[in-house]
Structure 1
């Protein structure tokens, strides 16, 4: 049996979330009849930022996750960080959707996202130095 990629699982879950977030933008653009920008519509502006923020943070985490997996990190570390990041992106999107201000969902979503990057970066450095 071929070895399955743990990173592939989280990339797939994040890919589906990406489409859900994009469809929310499309739905609001259609509703407000706005093709470019947010048309001054707060809900559309928030949906655009949720999608944009997701697109900004996800690539670095997936790359770090894939490197850690390829470098031989323990599968539980890959699963833990992959799941934490996926959940953090859901929590963050809920937080921004609720308000343009600071919310606990938004804050926790970003904290866990940053921690995911830090943990994976340190794990890759550890694996490199002690291989």
Structure 2
């Protein structure tokens, strides 16, 4: 048995992504408190950006974590799970930083989204490979 199993690798990346979602959620709460906004964004750019950073992460992270979980279930190589998890995590962090700093296009957002898509492609190929082989 490997020193790190597929399940352990999936647990690591799932845990880190859950922490990232928690941090992004707390940033929304902080902006809501700062601007005294209970619902929506009331046109406050910083709050709108925090809401979108969290929202975008909640749109992209869960499907990828499902892919990571299925890779673990089929006992894919831990390296495949680590590559997927790492690329996704760095991509999501960069995207959130870019979106939190500017509502417009930014280098961090672009690289973050590209890395997210690369994680999706890599996980998809790894899943298909494990399904066929």
Interval containing the TM-score (normalised by the shorter chain): over 0.9
Alignment partner of 1:82 is 2:85: yes
Checking the alignment, whether the CA contact within 8 Å between 2:95 and 2:113 is kept in structure 1 is yes
Spell out the pairing of 1:87-98 with structure 2 (5 A cutoff). Answer: 87-98=90-101
Output the TM-score relative to the length of structure 2. 0.92
User: How much does 1:32 deviate?
Assistant: 0.6
* SS of equivalent to 1:5: helix
User: How much does 1:68 deviate?
Assistant: 1.3
Residue aligning to 1:53: 56
Output the TM-score relative to the length of structure 1. 0.93
The separation in 2 between residues aligned to 1:129 and 1:74, in whole angstroms, is 15
Of 92, 98, 104, 1:101 maps to 104
The separation in 2 between residues aligned to 1:8 and 1:75, in whole angstroms, is 11
Alignment partner of 1:35 is 2:35: no
Relative contact order: is structure 1 or structure 2 higher (C-alpha 8 Å, sep ≥ 6)? Answer: 2
Aligned residues: 130
Structure 1 stretches of 4+ with a deviation exceeding 4 A read none
5+ unaligned residues in a row in structure 1: which ranges? none
The separation in 2 between residues aligned to 1:26 and 1:68, in whole angstroms, is 34
Residue aligning to 1:64: 67
